[in-house]
Amino acid sequence: MALKILYEDKDIVVVVKPRGVLSQSSSSFEEDMVSLLKKHLGRDGYIGVIHRLDKPVYGVMVYGKNKKATDILCSDLKKKNIGKIYEALVEGLPSEDTGRLTDFIKKENNNISRIADKNTKDAKEAILEYKVAETKHSESKDITRLRINLLTGRHYQIRLQCAAHGFPLFGDYKYNKRLAKEKSEYDKVLTLAAVELSFNHPKTGENMNFKIDADF
C-alpha cells in the first residue's frame, strides 16, 4: 500500500491513514501504519505513536521520528494543545446548528463503550463541539454533514456521542441501531474522517496545520 505523506522532516511525519488500516502495530497480521512507515524509513527507523484513529476511520495523523519529538507531542496532546477536526455524515438533524456534547463514557471489556453516569467507576468525561456544515432533506430522513472539534479523545467517542444524542453516523455498525434492520447507500463505509490536524512543531515551535477533504 502506498503511503500518502503530507509532510516529513527529521522529527515528524504527517500522513493520511486509509480506512481499514490500524493506527499502530497489533498482535494480528493485519497491515498497520507503523509497519508501513517503517518500510518507508527503513527497518531500523523510529516511529512514535502520538494519537490514534479507529481502524475504519480515514484521516490525518502525525507520528514522531525520534523519542524526543514523540514525547513532546504526547505531552502536548495531554495538555490539549493538539487540535483535531473531524467531519461526519449523520442521519437526522441536531436541534441546534452548533453545540457542545458532554457525556461520561465507560469502556467495556468487549471493545465497546457506553454512555454512563458520571459517578460510574472508570467513566471518563467526553466533550466535543459540533457545527452543522450541510443538511439534505428527504422524505425518509435528513442527512447532515457535521464538523466536529474533538476536545477529549475517548474510546469511540464521536460515534457513541452522536448516536446517543439522536444522530448516528452512516455506516456505523457498532452504534447505529438502524443498521440491524436496514442499510442505505451511505452505509458502505463509516462516514467519519479526521480532516484537520494542528500542532506546534516539537523542535521549532512552528504552528503546523494540515487539512484534507472528507471522502464522502
Q: What is the CATH number of the domain that holds 154?
A: 3.30.2350.10
The string of pLDDT tens digits covering residues 148-162 is 999 999 999 999 999
Q: Clarify whether residues 107 and 170 are in a common domain.
A: yes
Rounded Cα distance between 183 and 212, Å, is 28
The string of pLDDT tens digits covering residues 85-109 is 999 999 999 999 999 999 999 999 8
The answer to whether residue 197 is domain-embedded is no
**Total domains in the fold of the chain:** 2
Q: Clarify whether residues 89 and 102 are in a common domain.
A: yes
Percent of the chain exceeding pLDDT 90 equals 88
Rounded Cα distance between 193 and 112, Å, is 20
Q: Clarify whether residues 74 and 112 are in a common domain.
A: no
Rounded Cα distance between 164 and 181, Å, is 18
Grid cell of 188 as nine digits: 458502505
Grid cell of 129 as nine digits: 463541539
| Domain range enclosing 170 | 85-192
Q: Clarify whether residues 104 and 169 are in a common domain.
A: yes
The answer to whether residue 114 is domain-embedded is yes
Phi and psi torsions of 127, nearest 5°: -130, 135
The answer to whether residue 185 is domain-embedded is yes
Q: Beta strand pairing status for 12-17 and 124-136?
A: unpaired
The answer to whether residue 58 is domain-embedded is yes
DSSP string, 68-94: HHHHHHHHHHHTT-SEEEEEEEEES--
Q: Clarify whether residues 95 and 179 are in a common domain.
A: yes
CB-count exposure of residue 80 (10 Å: 0-12, 13-18, 19+): exposed
**pLDDT score, position 28:** 67
| pLDDT (mean) for 179-191 | 93
Rounded Cα distance between 106 and 22, Å, is 22
Q: Clarify whether residues 114 and 75 are in a common domain.
A: no
Strands of 31-157, DSSP E: 48-49, 58-64, 83-91, 98-107, 113-116, 124-136, 143-150
Question: Is 118 a residue whose pLDDT tops 70?
Answer: yes
Q: Clarify whether residues 164 and 104 are in a common domain.
A: yes
